[in-house]
Chain A
Amino acid sequence: MLALAVLSGARAQTTVSGKVTSADDGQPLPGVNILVENTTKGTVTDIDGNYSLSLNEDENVIIFSFIGFATQSVNVNGRSVIDVSMESDITSLNEIVIVGYGTQEEKDLTSAIATVKAEEIQKTPTSQAMQALQGKVAGVQIVSRGEPGEGPKVRVRGVGSLQGNSDPLYVVDGMFFDNIDFLNTADIASISVLKDASAAAIYGVRAANGVVLIETKSGSYDQAPQIVYDGYYGVQVPQNVIKMANSEQFSQYVRETGSSADIAFLNAAFQRYGRSRVNPNVPDVNTDWYDEVLQTAPIQNHSITISGGGENSRYAVGASYFDQEGLLKHTRNDYERFNFRSKVDFDATNWLNVGGNVNISNATRYVADNAVWFKTYFAVPILPVYDDQNTDAEPFSLSNAKILGYRNSQNPFYDLLYNDDRFKVTKILANFYADFEIIPNKLSFKTSYNYNFGSVNQRTVDFAYHDGLSPVLSGIKKQNTTSLDEIWDNILTFNENIGAHSFSIMGGYSYRSETADLLFAKGTELNPSPNPDNEEYWYIDNGAIDVGEVGDFDDENNDLGKFYGTSYFGRISYNYDDRYLIYGTFRRDGTNKFQEKWGNFPTVGVGWVLSEESFFDVKPVNFLKLRASWGKLGNDSSPAAVGKPTLVGTETAIDGILVLGNEADVFYDLLEKWETTEETNIGITARFLEDRLSLEADYYIRDTEDAALPIVLPLVRDQIRRNRGVIRNSGLELALNWSDNISEDLSYSIGGNLATLKNEVRDLGGQPYLNAGQQEFRQRSIIGEPIEAFFGYEVEGVFQNEGQISSSGLTQEFIDANNIIPGDFRFKDQNNDGVIDDLDRVVLGSYLPKLTYGFNIGVNYKNIELTANFQGQTGHSILNRKRGEMLFTTDTNIDADLADNLWRGEGTSNEYPSAAGLRKAYNLSMSDYFVEDGSYFRIQNVRLAYSLINRELFGAPMPDVRITLTAERPLTVFDYNGFNPEVADGIDRQTYPIPGIYTIGLNIKL
């Protein structure tokens, strides 16, 4: 072929020129590579996207290629002007993928990395970038949280730790984070999830839960200044709000319980509030507590970015504002965040690039007392919000269920009105780098310093009030936490191509220090007494300092203290003729957190691009790569272990005087090392039918060894942590995408992904099981079962009549002792010994979904774009802990489904016990009555966008404008008896509801 090009050199020449623009926004594209097919002849476009190229007579095809855009071949056919509009192509195999401490082309990858681009992230109206990934990346489970400012729970390929957190490591422009709640989603250029060990191993001891790499947006060289406004405004609507029993249903239920105390409370409500004229058997109150506390709340985000660049520099400067109100009325419950950022890069000389990046985030979060959710669920409907007769109550005459005889005041308005909890969160992320090009295009050395300062000022204020029976004193607690993390990375990179061999070698050293400090104090009985109108007096100094609540250390907070790490790492990637790929990394990590200081984390990966082989001739397949990798990762997130007996301070009072003492704590944790995860991943990457269909498939087995776990000791409550556990996660991930243009005006895409997960405990240091959760709602990790599975009795039904009880196989003694009557549960007697006891307990389910899936469709017609995402998960359970609360407090409301469907005589229900039975300890034993199917399907996001590009207004060019209408989570379908099927740990006790969000957005480019 080369010979042909040389031979053709003598022929007559023509010139072809034109302009290359982006199909997305019509902007000129500078730097586009233009190559004459089958030659080495080519050029690049200038700053305005223009090019000019001379062609020999026999040269007819020119190829336009540019990173991030689909490569185009154009037949010249004698034309002299050819303008090209390039389609962006996020699935392009030439896409540069961010990997740890460097980049790779996607076609060279041997590991499982999923990348999500800015455009996709910005579809979701949220302050939390990871939320935008829900249902989009196979193998990444996102569990939303509804509370303003709260990031979602993210799990990459299951849970591999019993003790440490299962959050992935976030690396933002080189800096390590536990979460990225401070980032403005519009500032993110891309999110790459390093799913398998081979991809993540370069992050060594921090990588076992997966690594999420985030790159913030930069300007571009040779780019005219661009000012972009991007914003949306919308409302959050509480949805799937659970229906609770109304006063009529509640009164009926109470009478059916036969409980004299509860009937007395009901009678007290009659006396106090009168009888309903509609139904005289019901008190004249019918409070829908959810209706009283929930509201539709606004959400908005506005950002401005100014970016551009010259020949030797590029910049991006931006500011953003995000505000999200909470769903609760009558209390401060919102999240507000201001971000400022600036990112600049300079080519100082031809061998030195320097740059810096600063991101300042200031957020204020008002958190409503979580007890509100709990009380709203449980408050009896026969209690009004306000009670004029409760004259002693102040400042508001809120009702108090205690006056009716109930154990607690129940009214959630005490928690709404009488406290105020504020977090002021500041984060300053900065990094600076210098990149030396020692041998041009071959050897470079980059040193970068990353700095993260964080400060959290928490202020919790309790207002003084009187509930009609007793006064509650005022108090203020303040807690300031500051943290300073630093990372210094030094990386040497060497690239070389020798014929068909191409190498890339990287070696590096990193030093890491993480320190955090805490100070807290509390004052009580403040004067002036705090109230919502005198915030200027909310100081501890105005009250008595509570000496028990002053301190600068918190045993529970694992992040406090000083932690150091040093690491040496390297990577080799080798590509032979684009057919054979070999990849390896090695990291040696040191930390002061555990007894063993050093650990090694290697990985190898291989790839075989079948489609590049000469024998491969399957027409519809454009690209086919088989990948396999193995790697080892660490998880150092389990709390640090002291490894030796310690002295613990004690306090007591002797003869009325505070006396300090010491207690020798001989039950110490000994974690010689971090948890290690070994993972094997095999995968296929393929493109079919002219790149229109893409496939990524992966199967992995991920074993966590040396998992830190508590060893239960005989006789004592203390448990000691040791590295003894083995946990396996395995699964299959599949992602398929199809996109096509039907005509110039109409294109569409359709895609889907799914992931299976099998989580299995394989060793607990010789122990057959390990208990977790509350005693009454037992969760247990058992060898061969998922981690912390729900554990209890299986409900076979409800006894309908005496005959069923006597023929049930239960012994008469057991029936008598538990007073089993019709309307009680029939639990499965697993060992058929005639009694239902601890030996009859079985695994009832796991909170980890066995299958997560998502799919999306997109249609573009001219200037209109419609996209829709769907997602769901199945195969997991939720513990309906709200219903379980009956075990501790019987005098509360119940949900309407339960009230309506209680057993009320033979044949009425085989699902729920009778009202009286609902109060018996026998029926409230942990069973699958409480453990419900958590499956759900959701329309995640529907978005309609209309673009106005290259328009003119009154003769002047109009900026490019894009208007979007978004519905986030408009519909969720599930069977679970709660309002929210997304419960991170599977225990639904007081979960913030997850709203549907409807927004209108505007994007303006100048």
Chain B
Amino acid sequence: MKPIKFLKYIMSLTLASLIVVSCDDSLNEPLENEVVLDGVDYTKTEDMFRLLTGAYAKLYELQWETYPLISVRGDDVDPNGDQEPLLATDVYRYDRSFWMYNSAWLNLYSDIIDYHANMEQIALYKEYAPNPAEADQYMAEIRVMRAFSLFQLSRLWGGLLIPTSSSTDELYTTEVSSREEVMQHISAEMDASIPLLPNVHPNQRTDIPGGITRYTALAVKALANLELKNYQEVANATGQIIESGAFTLYPDFYELFKIPGKLSSENILELQYSDLGQGSGQNFSYLYEFFGPNDYAPAVAGAGGGWGFWEPTEKYIKFMLDRGETVRLETSVLFTEEGIAKIKSDPAYATLPAWVSNETRDGDIIGKTDGSPNPRSIFSSGKHYLPSNQLTPGRTVYGTNKNFICIRYAEILLMHAEALTQGATSSVMSADAALNEVRDRAGLGDISGVTLEDVLNEKYAEFAMEWGIRFYDLVRHNRTEELDYDGRNYVEEEDKYLPYPLGQLDLLPQLAEYEQN
């Protein structure tokens, strides 16, 4: 028995000692697959580029609800479908608790804060960068992205908080900047960025084809100054772009908004999307289905339609017909049989040009063809349409592989003309020349002695369904009676800005204070 008793104590002791030498070290194991910033090696400056492409990924991730909210209020387009916030906003009935307000606000501001975060990281690399100017250029590109987001925010809400870093702590005490201060801030930001940016057409960049260049910054500067009615600044900025000769209008207006127009000579800022040339698998896309017609007989079988949520107005169509427009109307509006009948029911438009058809030139048939009513839109936005025969074989979702243009050279020309009609001067190009260059591409004859009226009409014709350009034009020039179509009643000042989203008022009392003053 003795040896066994001995064994008993030995075993107990061995086990007890095992416990003592046990494994508390494992508590310091890091979490899996989390790259923490304080572990980043900033001397590996080749990683800096990834922060820039990360920022582009942010820029290109335009959420579906942000764009319609920015663009819905003009007389060029009406929303359709079941999104109450859009339907109400379209008739200038605003509600601070609409989800879409809060969502668009968060989308744009989250991008801004994220841009700051990436710029702050690039600044840390700069110290070790063999070519510090590269870091400066990257940061300048992101500053332009940030300015573009801020610009859209201010168009919607007027006065804003201007973040200065990725830290949100400071915002609780940040004063609200007026719309003018925001636009001036944007303009100053662009002035600071311009010298740091490459002096080429975006599509000439080899590192990031279609990326941001000096001209993008100039264009954003022009947009901000246009809002401020600093027309001379607008003329100067647009003049520089025109003078560079880097840009030309893409000759085929119809194809500009389609695959051939990707990274075209006309585009100054565009959101890039791609299916990577593959018929299936990974795909980057905006949610174009929002715009697409909900009854759709595509030339390529299997291609999908959309929701019918975005409908060009009859007012716009008749305006275009009155002007004898062809390619711009064809490109901007997709007609259904029902839509054509609706226009024709007005005796003044009883006969339409022969080309007006429910079949696009690429053979896609829009809307119902059996005489039954279309459930939602009877017209759809052609600028957000990609013909089924341009889809990569295998892809079926509406608009797959289509880029989303934000700023194009035509807008530069017409802003230039607008500024000149408002008293600015330019040695680069006259208002007549700028306007006629755009008309020429549209197949229209030259005019001379261009007035503000001519410019605004030209912009209406040219930019319908694009970024609410029309709405902001009318508001800027107090021509808001144009907005009172189809029973709408736009009230100056009261309807200019959206109310701050409820969730933000709860967090930032200064917004409520600013709104009341």
Contacts and interface: CB of A to CB of B under 8 A. Distances in A.
B168 A652 contact: no
A652 B62 CA distance: 12
Interface stretch (B226-234, B247-255, B276-284, B445-453): B276-284
Nearest to A774: B99
Interface stretch (A542-550, A676-684, A782-790, A965-973): A542-550
Interface residues of A, number: 90
A76 interface: no
Interface stretch (B18-26, B410-418, B456-464, B473-481): B18-26
Given A566-B27, A640-B31, A490 B372 contact: no
Interface string B1-37: 0001100110110011011001110111111111111
Given A509-B22, A714-B168, A714-B172, A470 B396 contact: yes
B161 A646 contact: no
Interface stretch (A660-668, A871-879, A983-991): A660-668
A650 B36 contact: no
A115 interface: no
Contacts of B88: 921
A651 B282 CA distance: 10
B15 A470 contact: no
Contacts of B161: 714-715
A646 B208 contact: no
A647 B125 CA distance: 14
Interface stretch (A168-176, A228-236, A373-381, A556-564): A556-564
B375 interface: yes
Interface in B474-516: 502-504, 506-508
A264 B375 contact: yes
Interface stretch (A128-136, A590-598, A610-618, A927-935): A590-598
Contact of A714 (B283, B368, B508): B508
B38 interface: yes
A654 B280 contact: no
B382 interface: no
Contacts of B110: 715-718
B51 interface: yes
Contacts of A771: 503
A138 B168 CA distance: 47
B113 A524 contact: no
B32 A655 contact: no
A560 B32 contact: yes
A713 B29 CA distance: 30
A226 B116 CA distance: 73
A660 B304 contact: no
A837 interface: yes
Given A260-B373, A716-B109, A490 B50 contact: no
B23 A653 contact: no
A916 interface: no
A524 B394 CA distance: 11
B369 interface: no
Contacts of A717: 106-107, 110
A392 to B, nearest CB: 9
A contacts with B: majority SS? mixed
Interface string A552-572: 010000001110111000000
Interface in A405-430: 405-407
A976 to B, nearest CB: 26
B11 A436 contact: yes
Contact of B372 (A268, A714, A715, A889): A268
A653 B12 contact: no
B425 to A, nearest CB: 38
Contact of A592 (B26, B37, B53, B284): B26
- Greatest chain A CB density within 10 A among B12, B52, B302, B507 is at B12
B54 A888 contact: no
B261 interface: no
Given A261-B376, A513-B26, A661-B57, A655 B272 contact: yes
A887 interface: yes
Given A654-B272, A663-B117, A838 B96 contact: yes
A271 to B, nearest CB: 9
Contact of B56 (A268, A352, A565, A654): A654
B146 to A, nearest CB: 13
Contacts of B106: 715-717
B176 to A, nearest CB: 12
A511 B55 CA distance: 44
A267 interface: yes
B56 to A, nearest CB: 6
Nearest to A446: B15
B33 A714 contact: no
B352 interface: no
A838 B26 contact: no
A658 interface: yes
- What are the nearest 10 A-B pairs in CB distance? A661-B54, A661-B53, A653-B274, A548-B282, A652-B57, A564-B26, A561-B32, A650-B57, A921-B84, A715-B109
Given A445-B16, A470-B302, A642-B36, 18 more contacts: A261-B373, A264-B373, A509-B22, A525-B394, A564-B26, A644-B37, A645-B117, A646-B34, A663-B54, A663-B55, A664-B118, A666-B166, A667-B168, A715-B105, A715-B171, A716-B113, A717-B110, A888-B82
Interface of B: 4-5, 8-9, 11-12, 15-16, 18-19, 22-24, 26-38, 40, 47, 50-58, 60-61, 82, 84, 88, 93, 95-97, 99, 102, 105-107, 109-110, 112-114, 117-118, 120-121, 161, 163, 166-168, 171-172, 208-211, 263, 272-274, 276-284, 294-295, 302-304, 307, 368, 372-373, 375-376, 394, 396, 502-504, 506-508
6 contacts: A445-B16, A470-B396, A548-B281, A566-B24, A597-B28, A663-B57
Interface of A: 260-261, 264-265, 267-268, 349, 351-352, 405-407, 434, 436, 438, 445, 447, 470-471, 473, 490, 509, 511, 513, 524-525, 544-549, 553, 560-562, 564-566, 590-593, 597-598, 640, 642, 644-648, 650-667, 712-718, 768, 771, 775-776, 817, 837-838, 887-891, 921
